[in-house]
Amino acid sequence: MNAIGTWLELPVAPQLILLVAFYLVTGTLIHVLSFHGPTSRWVGSFKGIVGPFFGSVTVIFALLTGFVAGDVWNRNTEASRAVRAEADALLGLYHLTPDTGPDAAAIRDLIRAYAESVIRQEWPRMGVGEGAPDTEATLDALLQRTLNRSDQGSLGSAVERTRIETVLKLRTARTNRLLLAGDRTDELKWATVLLLAVVAQLAIAVVHLERPRPQIGALAIFSGAVVIALGLVAIQERPFVPPLQVSPAALEDVLQAIPAK
C-alpha cells in the first residue's frame, strides 16, 4: 500500500505518467499473452465469451471508482467550507468589535495578522498536512485578547458571548481545515480500483480473441478512459495542493475588508 500512497503524493506530471505507464504495461502484457508466445494457444481456447461479460466487469469498476471519487470530491467540498467558515468567523469578529472599544485596534490587527499568516505561511505548508506555528500563536493571542476583554466587566452581554463563540468557531474551522489537508482516501480503495481496471482489461481481451488489432484498439480506448478518469480523481486527492487546490480567496477578502494601518 505504501507504493500507492507514494504515487498519490507525487506532483501531477509524474503521477499521470506512472498511471499511463502502468496500464500500458498491463495492456501490452495481456495482448502478448493472448496472441504471442507459448500461452497464446491456451488463451485462444477461451474464444466465444460474449461482450456482455465485459460490461459486467466495467460496471463494478465504475461503481467503485464513483465511491472513491465521491470521497475525494466530498473532502474538497468540506475543505472549501472550512476556509469559508474561517473567513466568516474573522469578519464576524471584526464587525462585533466596535471602533469605540479600548482594544478594538489590537483585536483588528490580530484578525488581519491571522489572515495574513494563514495565506502566506500556513497555506504552503498544508500541502504536507502541516500548520504554521506563527499562525497558531496569532490565533492564541486573538483568543486570549477576546477572553480578557470579557473578563473586564462585560462577560454577561450578548455581544461578548457572541464574540467568544465566534473566535471559538474560528479555532474549530482552522482545526477542520488542517485535518482535511492531512486526510487521504483509504489506500485500499485505490488499490482495488486500480486492480479492477486491470481485470476489466482482461475482460476486454477475452472478448476480442479472434483478431489482434480489434483487441489492441479496445484495450487502448478503455485504458485511455481509465487514465483520464482515475487521473482526474488522483490530482484532486489533496485539496490544498495545485493544480486544483482550494483557493484562499475567502481569506484574501478578509484582508480587503479590514484596512491596514
CB-based contact 150:160 (threshold 8 Å): yes
Can you tell me the distance from the alpha carbon of 44 to that of 208, in angstroms, rounded to the nearest whole number?
10
Can you tell me the distance from the alpha carbon of 34 to that of 20, in angstroms, rounded to the nearest whole number?
21
Mean pLDDT confidence for 175-180:
92
pLDDT band at 150; cut points 50, 70, 90: low
pLDDT band at 152; cut points 50, 70, 90: low
Q: Which residue has the higher pLDDT, 5 or 230?
A: 230
Provide the CA 179 distance to its chain's centre, in angstroms: 11
Give residue 193's pLDDT.
95
41-77 per-position pLDDT tens digit? 777 776 766 667 667 888 899 999 999 999 999 999 9
Give residue 70's pLDDT.
93
Q: With 90 as the cut, is the pLDDT of residue 153 above it?
A: no
Q: With 70 as the cut, is the pLDDT of residue 133 above it?
A: yes
Give residue 149's pLDDT.
63
All three cell numbers of 108, joined, read 483588528
Mean pLDDT confidence for 148-155:
55
CB-based contact 121:134 (threshold 8 Å): yes
Bond from prior residue into 243 cis (ω within 30 degrees of 0): yes
72-125 per-position pLDDT tens digit? 999 999 999 999 999 999 999 998 887 766 677 888 899 999 999 999 999 999
Give residue 101's pLDDT.
65
- The pTM assigned to this predicted structure is 0.82
CB-based contact 19:234 (threshold 8 Å): yes
Give residue 82's pLDDT.
94
CA angle, 147 then 162 then 148, to 5°:
10
Helix or strand or coil: residue 245? coil
Dihedral class, residue 11 (left if φ above 0, else alpha if ψ from -120 to 50, else beta):
beta
Can you tell me the distance from the alpha carbon of 3 to that of 188, in angstroms, rounded to the nearest whole number?
11
196-253 per-position pLDDT tens digit? 999 999 988 888 888 889 899 999 999 999 999 999 999 998 898 888 889 999 999 9
207-223 per-position pLDDT tens digit? 888 888 989 999 999 99
Can you tell me the distance from the alpha carbon of 203 to that of 53, in angstroms, rounded to the nearest whole number?
7
pLDDT band at 169; cut points 50, 70, 90: very high
